[in-house]
């Protein structure tokens, strides 16, 4: 079965970078799962939620757009044309900075701010978006 990202690629569209959800961002679910495991297996629910969140989230930067898909049964997607992105912000807490995860916030022409949370190595994801814009010949304001 093809991934969501592969199934929505258009003709000539290529994946430049794939992102993922950080395991560290799921720390509290992992911890609750481990601590509650002896309590009639309730911890399995927390461990399952963390695992499903990590396995069912797909993040990609293509030469034309940014694609994010969340969810197993209920699907939420974000698709933003690279040419419509005006700014890319990275938000990291202290723990996120130390452990290498954060949130990316996109804002653009005619689009309200869109955020993608809990990305592992958000700086490389941001760099891939900027690279896609440069590759498409999009002029950006100096940072």
Per-residue pLDDT tens for 75-115?
999 999 998 899 999 999 999 999 999 999 998 877 678 99
Q: What are phi and psi of 49, to 5 degrees?
A: -60, -45
pLDDT bin (cut points 50, 70, 90) of residue 143 is low
Q: What is the mean pLDDT of residues 111-123?
A: 89
For residues 92 and 111, give the distance between their C-alpha atoms in angstroms, rounded to a whole number.
23
pLDDT number for residue 142: 53
Q: Specify the CATH number for 16-135; select among 3.30.450.20, 2.60.60.20, 2.30.29.30, 1.20.210.10.
A: 2.30.29.30
* Tokens encoding 92: 């990291």
The model's confidence at residue 139, banded by pLDDT at 50, 70 and 90, is: low
Task: Give per-residue pLDDT as tens, 14-56.
Answer: 999 999 999 999 999 999 999 998 887 888 999 999 999 999 9
Name the helix (H) or strand (E) containing 33.
helix 27-36
Provide the pLDDT for residue 128. Answer: 95
* Cβ proximity of 104 and 25 under 8 Å: no
Q: What is the reported pLDDT for 138?
A: 65
What was the pLDDT predicted at 135? 79
Lowest-confidence segment of 2-6, 11-15, 135-139 by average pLDDT: 135-139
């Amino acid at each position: 079965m093809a991934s969501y990202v592969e199934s929505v690629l258009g003709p000539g569209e290529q994946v430049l970078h794939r992102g993922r959800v950080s395991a560290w961002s799921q720390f509290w679910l992992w911890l609750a799962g481990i601590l509650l495991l002896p309590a009639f297996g309730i911890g399995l629910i927390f461990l399952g939620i963390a695992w499903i969140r990590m396995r069912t989230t797909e993040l990609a930067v293509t030469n034309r757009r940014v694609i994010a898909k969340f969810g197993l049964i209920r699907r939420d997607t974000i698709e933003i044309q690279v040419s419509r992105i005006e700014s890319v912000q990275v938000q990291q807490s202290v723990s996120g900075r130390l452990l290498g995860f954060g949130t990316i916030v996109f804002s653009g022409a005619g689009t309200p701010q869109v955020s993608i949370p809990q990305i592992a190595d958000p700086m490389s994801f941001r760099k891939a978006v900027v690279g896609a814009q440069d590759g498409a010949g999009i002029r950006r304001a100096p940072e």
